[in-house]
Structure 1
Amino acid sequence: MKKGPVLAAVLAALVFVLANSVFIVDERQQALKLQFGKVVGDPDGYRQPGLYFKIPFIQNVVYYEDRILPLETSELEITPLDDRRLVVDAFARWRIVDPLRFRQAVQTEAAALPRLERILNAALREVLGSVMSDNILSDDRAQLMARIRDAARGSAATLGVQIIDVRIRRADLPQQNLQATFERMKAERVREAADERARGAEAAQRVRANADRQAVELVSEARRDSEIIRGEADAKRNRIFAEAFGRDPEFFAFYRSLGAYEKSIQPGSTTLVLTPGSEFFEYLGGGADRDPRRGMAE
């Protein structure tokens, strides 16, 4: 009866010792085995998943993440080459690749974050401060992020950490500079609009001047042509009159007198004061003995 409790106690002690003699590393972890605070066993750490042994009560195990971890940084104000300040919001992805060096440098993951943030901020200032702000806001950003990653990797390697990737989430002007920038952009657009209007007015003036010149030329040519036609018509008319006078002087004199009557005797207030024997009314009289060479009145 007394052997039962003793056996149970011995078995419990054996289970407890055995439980403290092994440790398990899963696929998400890597581990270091310590003895009195000093790393023993595999100096590269235990990174393969499995079951491992340690000396109970003398050795202990610390675990570190073997997965890719995030690094969120606070907003950073940088000054590119053109002195146009920008507020940059970036983040990184990192991983512990040397657990022994990591423990020697920072001990814990929580302690590593401020160190990594300082390294990333220094790389951001170095790379972004060597280019123009337009490069940061253009398609060149991908190349700049690769340069930032490479610049941060050297310093992060001293902590046993590898920087996997760096991304710039946002790059904006500081709030106090936004209004001034908007006003400057507005002034530039107003100036460009004024230049466009001035060029348009100049072009319109050229078009109007050309149109006026062409109108004057067309009117002048039309007047010239009309004067030529009128002159030719007058010459033809005079020629016809001359031929008619040569063929029948009596009829020609009569025709000219009728034209003179039409122009001088108008309905209304026309009054003529002439002597009874005036030649003007020769063809209005009834005499048959008039001289056919007389009778034309202008």
Structure 2
Amino acid sequence: MRYVIKIVGVILCILLYDSMFIVYETNQAIVIQLGKVIREVKEGGLYFKLPLIHRVVFFDKRVLHLGRDDTQREVITADQKRIIVDAYIKCKIVEPVVFYQTVQNENGLHRRVYPIVESHIRENIGRFSLISLLNEKRSEVMKLIQNGVYSEAKKFGVEVMDVRIKRADLPEENSAAIFRRMQTEREKEAKEIRAEGEQAGQEIRAKADKLKRDLISNALKESHEIRGAGYAEATRIYNNAFKVDEEFFNFYRSIRAYSKSFAKGNTKFVLSPNNRFLDIFNKGWK
């Protein structure tokens, strides 16, 4: 009898435990009986159900982040540029019964919602060029995508809070081609800069050479003028001195000529006695 009472007590405890469930503040729940939803619970607290008959399914009330590595898709822009787009969705479960009946869980939601997101991404990105998507039109495209997904996601019992493109890259082969084109453009630009620098250098060297020639020419001209003026002044002084005493000056010139002519001891001259070079000696003999 004791064992029966213990067994009955254990069964009653199990049934009592199974008849209660707790809904936390971050969760919401639905009660299912034989595959049919009979109740939804959105507030936190302690609740009761029929043990072994009712089943409770919990859902998160917080914002869900939907997005995985396999969500990358290739999209064509209006100017026929291919880009790789990776988007994510933020949403909340607002109608747990509808959510359970349509998608059942987050994985099911991702499988149902993301094709819708992809469709709107292709449709809206296809209206704009790549440059505009990277600049002023990006926020407009995001708003169009979000509005389209928001209206269609209601049928799954969720409210879309945000849809964002977290990366939009060119395919690898396009990136390599763009890199090569950028490299070619930079090399071309570098050659143009070097050519311009060489041209500027040649112009500067030509100007410097011309300036050098002009300076040398002016200096030579000025030196010739100064030298000519000096010669003229020397000639004037020489002539004035010659006029003061012509006989003495002739004697002086003759003496200098003799000193230069007879500088070496072995100098020999064969001259006529009447040669003008010997006038001083001839006058002395007279």
TM-score by length of 1: 0.74
Task: Check whether the contact 1:128–1:144 (CA below 8 A) recurs between aligned residues.
Answer: no
> Does 1:52 find its partner at 2:50?
no
Structure 1 residues 219 and 11: CA distance shift in structure 2, 3 A: same
Aligned ranges 1:1-298 → 2 under 5 Å:
15=13, 18-35=16-33, 37-41=35-39, 45-55=40-50, 59-70=54-65, 71-74=67-70, 75-126=72-123, 128-129=125-126, 130-133=128-131, 136=134, 143=139, 147=143, 150-151=146-147, 152-165=149-162, 168=165, 170-257=167-254, 274-283=271-280, 285=281, 287-288=283-284
Task: Check whether the contact 1:32–1:61 (CA below 8 A) recurs between aligned residues.
Answer: yes
Inter-partner Cα distance in structure 2 for 1:118 and 1:177: 26
Q: How many positions carry a matched residue from both structures?
A: 282
> Deviation string for 1:180-235 (max 9, x for gaps)?
33322221122111101111111012111211221122122112211221221122
Q: What SS does the corresponding residue of 2:156 show, helix, strand or coil?
A: coil
Structure 1 residues 237 and 173: CA distance shift in structure 2, 3 A: same
Amino acid at match of 1:245: F
Mean Cα deviation higher: 22-31 or 231-240: 22-31
Task: Check whether the contact 2:25–2:44 (CA below 8 A) recurs between aligned residues.
Answer: yes
Mark the runs of 5 or more structure 1 residues left unpaired by the alignment. 291-298
Structure 1 residues 11 and 231: CA distance shift in structure 2, 3 A: same
Amino acid at match of 1:125: R
Q: How many Å apart are 1:62 and its aligned residue?
A: 2.3
Mark the runs of 5 or more structure 2 residues left unpaired by the alignment. none
Mean Cα deviation higher: 22-31 or 268-277: 268-277
Amino acid at match of 1:287: K
Inter-partner Cα distance in structure 2 for 1:174 and 1:199: 37
Amino acid at match of 2:250: A
Q: What SS does the corresponding residue of 1:287 show, helix, strand or coil?
A: helix
> Deviation string for 1:49-105 (max 9, x for gaps)?
211234556654322223443421422223345544333344444432332332243
Task: Check whether the contact 1:90–1:168 (CA below 8 A) recurs between aligned residues.
Answer: yes
Structure 1 residues 267 and 219: CA distance shift in structure 2, 3 A: farther
Q: What SS does the corresponding residue of 1:197 show, helix, strand or coil?
A: helix
Q: What SS does the corresponding residue of 1:288 show, helix, strand or coil?
A: helix
Inter-partner Cα distance in structure 2 for 1:29 and 1:164: 18
Inter-partner Cα distance in structure 1 for 2:271 and 2:116: 126
Mean Cα deviation higher: 5-14 or 222-231: 5-14
Q: How many Å apart are 1:46 and its aligned residue?
A: 1.8
Q: What SS does the corresponding residue of 1:186 show, helix, strand or coil?
A: helix
- From the two aligned structures, give the one with the greater helix fraction: 2
Q: How many Å apart are 1:118 and its aligned residue?
A: 1.9
> Deviation string for 1:113-163 (max 9, x for gaps)?
122322333344355552425854x8x798589648735444434423344
TM-score by length of 2: 0.76
Q: Percent identity?
A: 38
Structure 1 residues 239 and 270: CA distance shift in structure 2, 3 A: same
Task: Check whether the contact 1:78–1:87 (CA below 8 A) recurs between aligned residues.
Answer: yes
- What's the RMSD between the two structures over aligned residues? 3.9
Inter-partner Cα distance in structure 1 for 2:266 and 2:80: 95
Task: Check whether the contact 1:148–1:166 (CA below 8 A) recurs between aligned residues.
Answer: no
